[in-house]
Structure 1
Amino acid sequence: MFLTSHADSLRSDLRARLPKVLPRRLGIAVSGGGDSVALMHLLHEIAQAEGIELRVATVDHGLRAASADEAQTVARQAQRLGISHDTLRWQDWDQTGNLQDQARQARYSLLTKWARDQDVAAIALGHTADDQAETVLMRLARAAGVTGLSAMSATRSQGGVQLLRPLLDVTRQRLRNYLTEIDVGWIEDPSNQDTRFDRIKARKALQDLEPAGITPEVLTRVAENLAQAREALAVYAQESARKIASVNDGDMVLDRAGFGALPDEIQRRILVGAVLWISGAGYPPRRTTVAQALEAVLSGQAGSIGGCLVVPQGNKAWICREFGAIEGLSAPLGERWDGRWVFSGPKVETAEIRGLGEGGLLQLPDWRVTGRPRLALKSSPSIWQGTDLLAAPLAGHSNGWRAELASDWPEFHTLLLSH
């Protein structure tokens, strides 16, 4: 295919945003829109030059009658390029909640599972400078802080798969110009005109702001500047946490005096990091909830946040799992419990892992010798056979079993660098 200097420049800019050494098998998420179709064609050129294998996936959310036909259109485009294509169908929406947010979460979940199944180490996504700018405006409307206004990162890991966004400094129009030059069509999603959605409102607002010099390129640079500030704050938070926060069998223990001496933003980052590490949640709690929990830590009071509890203990504050968040949750021996706990020990066919709870504590009169707060022990993992408690290692009753965090659960202080 003959490439113009414009196409060469675009491909060069894209390659500069990718890892120096690409994985031998690279995935591409292609919806059929202009951004992702352009990404597929550009990466096809790069893959041919560098000898890597591409795989394409399209998520069909099933929310519009035309979505299945659009996925087929992408399949045909990929086939013409000699690229393997799979359609991933979302069928789990229960017709409640925030549709766009649930669809987005489902999209990433489907894509990362597909990547693991296909032995695809990384997936390239077609987010552009326009998407970045719209995200900044949306988060500005929510009074976001440094992390929120940093918007989308160029790379991040989810479910063991690297997500790459190599088009974050490329505008939507530039990609469409490229497709026009190479005579390739794309699909226009009608929802892109639906002003009920916040993103479309931001898109319209951005058009009005352009005469004032507030363009996608400018807002992308703002996001990049704030991303640098975010990284510096993350390092500061990590270094501070090593001094005032310690891990105790899956819980976090804060030195309240040391915590109180830190700047507000660093306090917030450490607390949010602890909650995300304990709960495994993908998103931080609301700022109002964080503010209330911070006050509880500083004043030596009890509090709750994001499926976790703040439990005062003298000059310390424990951050632990809330029993209500795991009540009723069970798992067979040999499987994970609460997403992060695994047991090793005797095999008992009918035994299962559950939270210790009040009933378990009543069977352990000596639990206080562990030094752990009662509320922290209530949500700790234990092994039951019916109503009989067989083991509660964190409560001092191991009975031959050992409870440990799963080997792939992140190390807390490392996690602070990614949130």
Structure 2
Amino acid sequence: MQQAGSPPAAMLFPRIDFGQGAVAAISGGSDSTALLVLLKNHFDRFLPSARLIAVTVDHALRSASATEAQTVAGLCEKLGIVHRTVAWEGAKPSSGIAAAAREARYRLLADVARDEGLDIVVTGHTADDQAETVIMRQARDEGPGLAGMAPATLYEGDVWILRPLLAERRSTLRALLTARGLGWIDDPTNLDPAFERPRVRATLAGNGNRLEDILATTRRVAHEREELSYRAAVLIDRHASQSTRGLIRLAPEFGAEADRQAALQALRVLLAVAGGTSFLPDKDRVAGLLRMSSSGTGRATLSRTVIDVRRAGIFLYREARGLPVPSMPSDGAVWDGRYRITFDDGVEGCVIAPFGREGGLEGTASAREKAPASLFRAAHAVEPAVWRDGIRLGSPGEPGRLPGAQVVPVVAPFARFLSGFDLEVARAVSGLVGAPSLPAPPLKVPAGPQASANA
């Protein structure tokens, strides 16, 4: 960052396509206040027609939070920035409050962006935040998490969360604010040792060498994670197909792929998607399944997914245990972590339940030639169907049967937060199962694995 008084926004934001504008998250702390000032300068100079909307999330966890939000509103009025305060309402959990507050914050920020017709939320996470995050993930032995926070993360498939200050130190941002005569709010919880992050922050205080070492490791791991995502996507594109909805087939050659690390990652992602689980399965257990697939025969279950290895290929489908109980249709709800189902008024008195074992075989003739009929039936049996009075009316989306009911596949491990580090493999598996296409990240970078959405 340049010295205070110069236009650092011209260096920080030229790679971001802000489109119609952005929502800027501001708590009143030094990082988010500096971000807002820099964004304001950038929009005024380069994007005069774009909208900048500052949003403060009042978590209602401290008595002073409402007053602090009013202080932020006053600052925004002084700077000529539209400001909104949104509150985290309802009961708060007795444990895991930091994680719950983070979830609520992103949800509320994204809601404002959607209401305003925008698809970008910008946050003020700094290099200090990045180092703290990595240390906390190290303590939990989160290998891929050592890549830290991605510069771009897709939230619920339609709102990009951007973090343009990840290379900037908090001390530099505070110096900028001080030079401009602007103050900030110090949240007392940032010093409370009852919380993990303040404890980690204290260990880093005054130890610039350790922080730089951590950030160097983070950059290396981030690059490796992006590369792995690209290589896994290549294998999915090369070997995977969908014989019928809910039945994924990997060509027999997949088990013999030389890039074992990429094959392992691809299989982990496919298992989670087929089973509708939010988290990728354990590496060691999937490595065992990969060895089994190399042998050309075997059957096992992991992450609610059956993996059935036959001469015709390696087949993945949702196991029959633990399926959702019959329930009333809820428009737009996600069923079993695998499908989002929408309805019109034609399903009154109906319930959604698994299709069951009896029924015809779907899929093209060429697909059926590559998969045993028993697997078609097993996969079809765990698909959602509409029932009324114990009679199955059909599956949502079946031509001519339920024209007012539609089913859209969901890629469970990336449905809520899709780190830009994993964008390539997410694109590959979304295309495989017919999930909605992923929007392009608003970062202006060359295409290819060496310069992904997070370069």
- In the superposition, the TM-score normalised over structure 2's length comes to 0.76
In structure 2, the residue corresponding to 1:47 is in which secondary structure?
Answer: helix
Contact 2:306/2:319 (<8 A) preserved = no
CA distance in 1: counterparts of 2:351 and 2:147, whole angstroms: 43
| Residue 6 of structure 1, CA deviation | 2.2
Name the aligned partner's letter for residue 413 of structure 1: V
Root-mean-square deviation (CA, aligned residues, Å) is 3.5
Instruction: Give the corresponding residue for 1:406.
Output: 408
Instruction: Give the corresponding residue for 1:158.
Output: 155
CA distance in 1: counterparts of 2:91 and 2:252, whole angstroms: 43
Map residues 201-216 of structure 1 onto 2, 5 A cutoff.
Answer: 201-207=199-205, 209-210=207-208, 213-215=209-211
Instruction: Give the corresponding residue for 1:355.
Output: 354
CA distance in 1: counterparts of 2:70 and 2:320, whole angstroms: 47
In structure 2, the residue corresponding to 1:319 is in which secondary structure?
Answer: strand
In structure 1, the residue corresponding to 2:267 is in which secondary structure?
Answer: helix
Instruction: Give the corresponding residue for 1:72.
Output: 70
Instruction: Give the corresponding residue for 1:377.
Output: 380
CA distance in 2: counterparts of 1:31 and 1:181, whole angstroms: 20
Instruction: Give the corresponding residue for 2:23.
Output: 27
CA distance in 2: counterparts of 1:325 and 1:114, whole angstroms: 36
Where structure 1 has 5 or more consecutive residues not aligned to the other structure, the ranges are none
CA distance in 1: counterparts of 2:99 and 2:69, whole angstroms: 21
Distance 1:325 1:116, change over 3 A: farther
- The alignment covers a number of residue pairs equal to 399
CA distance in 1: counterparts of 2:133 and 2:202, whole angstroms: 13
Distance 1:132 1:388, change over 3 A: same
Are 1:261 and 2:261 an aligned pair? no
Map residues 146-295 of structure 1 onto 2, 5 A cutoff.
Answer: 147-159=144-156, 160-207=158-205, 209-210=207-208, 213-215=209-211, 217-248=212-243, 249-255=245-251, 258-259=254-255, 261-278=257-274, 284-285=279-280, 289-295=282-288
Name the aligned partner's letter for residue 111 of structure 1: L
Name the aligned partner's letter for residue 219 of structure 2: E
Deviations 1:110-148 (A, max 9, x none): 111211111122111100010111122222223333x32
CA distance in 2: counterparts of 1:323 and 1:60, whole angstroms: 43
| Residue 238 of structure 1, CA deviation | 0.8
CA distance in 2: counterparts of 1:333 and 1:177, whole angstroms: 52
Distance 1:186 1:235, change over 3 A: same
| Residue 352 of structure 1, CA deviation | 3.6
Distance 1:256 1:99, change over 3 A: farther
In structure 2, the residue corresponding to 1:64 is in which secondary structure?
Answer: coil
Q: Which has the higher contact order (CA 8 A, sep 6+)?
A: 2
Instruction: Give the corresponding residue for 1:38.
Output: 34
Name the aligned partner's letter for residue 388 of structure 1: I
Contact 1:150/1:226 (<8 A) preserved = yes
Structure number with higher helix proportion: 1
Map residues 306-325 of structure 1 onto 2, 5 A cutoff.
Answer: 308-315=304-311, 316-322=313-319
- In the superposition, the TM-score normalised over structure 1's length comes to 0.82
Deviations 1:311-367 (A, max 9, x none): 3252444433455564136453864552634478994432343333xxx33x54989
CA distance in 2: counterparts of 1:179 and 1:97, whole angstroms: 35
Distance 1:102 1:267, change over 3 A: farther
Contact 2:138/2:146 (<8 A) preserved = yes
Where structure 2 has 5 or more consecutive residues not aligned to the other structure, the ranges are 293-297, 363-370, 412-425, 433-451
CA distance in 2: counterparts of 1:340 and 1:269, whole angstroms: 23
In structure 2, the residue corresponding to 1:354 is in which secondary structure?
Answer: strand
CA distance in 2: counterparts of 1:324 and 1:68, whole angstroms: 47
In structure 2, the residue corresponding to 1:7 is in which secondary structure?
Answer: coil
Distance 1:405 1:411, change over 3 A: farther
Choose the corresponding residue for 1:104, options 102, 105, 111.
102
Contact 1:329/1:354 (<8 A) preserved = yes
Choose the corresponding residue for 1:302, options 287, 290, 300.
300
Instruction: Give the corresponding residue for 1:15.
Output: 13
| Residue 65 of structure 1, CA deviation | 1.6
In structure 1, the residue corresponding to 2:189 is in which secondary structure?
Answer: helix
Distance 1:296 1:167, change over 3 A: same
Distance 1:365 1:120, change over 3 A: closer
Contact 2:248/2:315 (<8 A) preserved = yes
Greater Cα shift, 221-230 or 121-130: 221-230
In structure 2, the residue corresponding to 1:116 is in which secondary structure?
Answer: helix
Name the aligned partner's letter for residue 224 of structure 2: A
| Residue 5 of structure 1, CA deviation | 4.5
Contact 2:23/2:113 (<8 A) preserved = yes
Name the aligned partner's letter for residue 184 of structure 1: L
In structure 1, the residue corresponding to 2:4 is in which secondary structure?
Answer: helix
Contact 2:393/2:401 (<8 A) preserved = no
Map residues 56-67 of structure 1 onto 2, 5 A cutoff.
Answer: 56-67=54-65
Distance 1:309 1:166, change over 3 A: same
